[in-house]
Amino acid sequence: MSKVIVHVIGTGTIGEPLTGILSDHKEDFGIDEVTFNKNRPLSGDRPKLEQMIRRGALMCSGKEHVEAFKAMGLEVAFESEEAIARATVVIDCTPSGVGRENKHQYYERYADKVRGFIAQGSEFGFGKMYARGINDDVLDKDKDQFIQVVSCNTHNISVLLHTLADDGQGALALEEARFLCLRRANDISQDGSFIPAPQLGGHSDPQFGTHHARDAYHLFQTLGYDLNLFSSACKTNSQYMHALHFSVKTKFKLDMDGVLARMHDNRRVAITEKGSANSVFSFGREHGHYGRILSQTVVSTPTLAVRNENEVVGFCFTPQDGNSLLSSVAATLWYLDPETMDTRIDCLRPYLFQEV
């Protein structure tokens, strides 16, 4: 039997905790080896890389960097391209556009060796869009060698639609939905791109507004839906977590008790009485996995209103990147074995909170 190897490319906001989760739960997940690719040999990154290696992952990089890493006291176990070639699953966690470039430059060349390639939120067009719990049933072993895990806000939008617009028979009955993403300026792990005050975003897509509704539309299109969605976005001068204002209009009647019951019944939805991003973030820091709440949304119940018996309005928080991490693990386990994916991922259930 060949070794089961999962290779993560990128050690940033997504790549670092993902490598850690995979290393910590290697046995639960049925993985023999976790490897990760570090792009630049920056000495300031050495402590982070040491910790990732200490958790059991092997570092890979371009052969031109081997000596520089050696001088930093770090061993490069495999050269970047070799690491892709020997992997069972590759998870690309690089910034916007690099994943699509990598697909053409490398991944397609190793498509006969590697079982599956996964990219993150900004890689529109990389492969089938995926969010755990939304469209697991349409993943197809014969067709879906490339998967794009949707962005954190798209996860949030999608789980709200899935929870609120379900007609009770497992199908969506949605009139329309609108969303305003109140985005943090940058992640606490990032130094750049902070802003001094709220910054409003444009509606570059005339049909969907921003990519968040567009991506949710395409995610649900994999299930055969043609949803009426629109989103707007603005950045706020915060580093904690995104917040989302939503208005979801259904084709059936709803009341507040029903709304709360739906949220309670969906284990990927957390509710909270809190109304500030810092207090929800702080809960994640204390009780989450790598500080992350892995629930797909945290709905602030005091902000909920039901209007005209068919419109649910409210605010919720997007738990950093926890939902993208969970879906990335789920997609990896699906490539390894769809039959055992649900039981293997159970070890992360303690981080799917019902209440925050």
Ligand X SMILES: NC(=O)c1ccc[n+]([C@@H]2O[C@H](COP(=O)([O-])OP(=O)(O)OC[C@H]3O[C@@H](n4cnc5c(N)ncnc54)[C@H](OP(=O)(O)O)[C@@H]3O)[C@@H](O)[C@H]2O)c1
Considering only the stretches 69-77, 92-100, 305-313, 344-352, report the one whose residues sit in contact with ligand X under the rule CB under 6 A: 92-100
CA-based torsion, 68, 44, 18, 107: positive or negative:
negative
Alpha helices in 7-130 (DSSP H): 15-24, 26-29, 46-54, 66-71, 80-85, 98-105
Contacting ligand X within 133-192 (CB under 6 A): 151-152, 187
Q: Which region, judged by CB under 6 A, interacts with ligand X, from 95-103, 132-140, 167-175, 263-271?
A: 95-103
Answer yes or no whether residue 60 interacts with ligand X by CB under 6 A: no
Helix, strand, coil percentages, rounded to 5, for the chain: 35, 25, 40
Cβ-based nearer residue to ligand X, 34 or 174: 34
Contact segment (CB under 6 A) with ligand X among 5-13, 158-166, 232-240, 303-311 equals 5-13
**14 touches ligand X (CB under 6 A):** yes
Q: How many residues bind ligand X (CB under 6 A)?
A: 25
Rounded Cα distance, 244 and 312, in Å: 13
* φ/ψ (deg, to 5) at 265: -80, -15
x/- binding map, residues 306-325, to ligand X, per CB under 6 A?
Answer: --------------xx--x-
Question: Of 27, 30, 32, 40, which lies in the binding site for ligand X, with binding defined by CB under 6 A?
Answer: 40
Enumerate residues 110-139 that contact ligand X by CB under 6 A: 120-123
Least distance to ligand X, CB of residue 303, Å: 23
CA separation for the pair 26, 115 (Å, rounded): 18
Find the binder of ligand X among 94, 158, 296, 332 (CB under 6 A): 94
* Residue with Cβ nearer ligand X (97 or 198): 97
216 contributes a contact to ligand X by CB under 6 A? no
Using the minimum distance from each CB to ligand X, give the nearer residue, 185 or 248.
185
The DSSP annotation for 108-154 comes to GGGTTT-SEEEE-TT-TTSSEEE-TTTSGGG--TTT-SEEEEPPHHH
CB of 298 to ligand X, least distance (A): 15
The piece of 6-14, 162-170, 257-265, 271-279 that touches ligand X (CB under 6 A) is: 6-14
Q: Does 15 bind ligand X (CB under 6 A)?
A: yes
**Widest distance between CA atoms in the chain:** 67
Vertex 130, ends 126 and 131: CA angle to 5°?
145
Question: Tokens representing 122?
Answer: 């900004």
Q: Does 38 bind ligand X (CB under 6 A)?
A: yes
Q: Could you give the CA distance from residue 327 to residue 127 in angstroms, rounded to a whole number?
A: 14
Q: Bridge-partner residues for 128, per DSSP?
A: 147
List C-alpha distances in Å: 51 to 5, 18, 93.
Answer: 19, 13, 18
Q: Contact with ligand X (CB under 6 A): which of 39, 236, 279, 282?
A: 39
Query: Does position 209 bind ligand X by CB under 6 A?
Result: no
Ramachandran angles phi, psi of 169, nearest 5°:
-110, 10
Nearest of 159, 183, 160 to residue 246 by alpha carbon: 160
Using CB positions, name the residue nearest to ligand X: 12
**Which residue in the set 7, 13, 74, 156 belongs to the binding site for ligand X (CB under 6 A)?**
13
Residues 322-341 that bind ligand X (CB under 6 A): 324
> Candidates 49-57, 89-97, 272-280, 339-347 — which segment interacts with ligand X by CB under 6 A?
89-97
For ligand X, the closer of residues 96 and 354 by Cβ is 96
Q: 89, 149 in Cβ contact below 8 A? A: no
Name the residues that contact ligand X, by CB under 6 A.
Answer: 9-15, 38-40, 93-96, 98, 120-123, 151-152, 187, 320-321, 324
